[in-house]
Structures are given as C-alpha cells and as structure tokens.
Amino acid sequence: MTETSTQHKNAGPDLTYQQYLQKDTLALPKCIECSKLHFYPRIVCPHCGSFNLEWKILSGKGEVYSTTTIRRKPERGGNYNVCLVTLDEGPRMMSRVDGIAAEDVEIGDKLIARIINNDGDCHVIFTPLQEV
Ligand SMILES: [Zn+2]
C-alpha cells in the first residue's frame, strides 16, 4: 500500500521537475490565475489554491537571500555553503553556492543556476554570476 502511494507522488510535479533538469533546464510551475511561480513544485498553487498551473522555463538567475556556512573537516570535503536563493522570477529555493569559498557568499550576491546530474538524479546548485 505504502509503495503504491509513493509511486503516485513520484509521477506528479516532482517527476516533471526532474525531467526538465535532466534536459539541463530549470523549470517551475507558474499559476495561470495569479501569475506567481513556486518552489518546490506542487499540483496546487500555494499562493491562491488554483490547480491551473503551467510549466515555465526560468533564466536560472537569482540572488542570495540568506547564507550559512556548514563547517566540515578538509578530509571530509571542507566547508560548504547552504543558502536560500531568490530567483529572478520570484520563488525562493534552498541550494548551495559553488565556485567561491563557502564563507565568502554574501546576501545579495548575484547567482546563476547549474544543474548537477548524479546518475540521473539531478539537483540545482548556483555559482556566482559573472557580470559582463
Ligand atoms: Zn495562484
């Protein structure tokens, strides 16, 4: 019984989100009623309760909303960063910033998303956005 309900959940927005990531694309549900996006993907808009959602491909740009350095011994991979990123399109997601020292990440830093594919299990991290 439990397994069946898990399969059901996996066939929903989680799966669609993963399928986009596997194509190296960051996409989130956008509500057709209130025009807001949300993270983590759900079948119902958390802002207004509408089921009328469409998938929108995002720019991947965002900025640091909050940042925490997790201390770890060098032999275990060294310090890393956990942050909340506000995407340009509005939603906020938990992630980490790579490409600079964990303790150098600052609130307001501009970021760009990068999709990491671990044997088909994709997740999103961010690196500093290089201004042109
Ligand atoms: Zn809505």
Q: Which ranges in the chain are annotated with CATH 2.40.50.840?
A: 59-132
pLDDT value for 120: 85
Provide the pairing of β-strand 27-31 with 53-57.
Answer: antiparallel
Q: Is the pLDDT of residue 19 over 60?
A: yes
pLDDT value for 6: 43
> Where does the pLDDT of residue 11 fall: very low under 50, low under 70, confident under 90, or very high at 90 and above?
low
Task: Output the CA 42–ligand 1 centroid distance in Å.
Answer: 11
Task: Output the CA 60–ligand 1 centroid distance in Å.
Answer: 21
Q: Is the pLDDT of residue 129 over 70?
A: yes
The matching CATH number, chosen from 2.60.40.2300, 2.40.50.840, 3.40.50.300, 1.10.3720.10, for 59-132 is 2.40.50.840
Task: Output the CA 5–ligand 1 centroid distance in Å.
Answer: 26
| Separation CA 13–CA 20 (nearest Å) | 11
Task: Output the CA 85–ligand 1 centroid distance in Å.
Answer: 21
Q: Is the pLDDT of residue 65 over 50?
A: yes
For ligand 1, a single-atom ion, the residues with CB < 5 A are 31, 33-34, 45, 47-48, 50
Task: Output the CA 14–ligand 1 centroid distance in Å.
Answer: 18
Task: Output the CA 126–ligand 1 centroid distance in Å.
Answer: 27
What are the residues whose beta carbons fall under 8 Å from the beta carbon of 36, sequence distance 6 or more? Answer: 30, 45, 47, 48, 90, 91
Q: What is the dihedral of CA 27, 12, 122, 64, to 10 degrees?
A: 50
User: What is the overall mean pLDDT for the chain?
Assistant: 91
Structure tokens at 92: 């906020």
What is the arithmetic mean of pLDDT over 19-43? Answer: 96
29 closest CA partner among 84, 87, 83, 82: 87
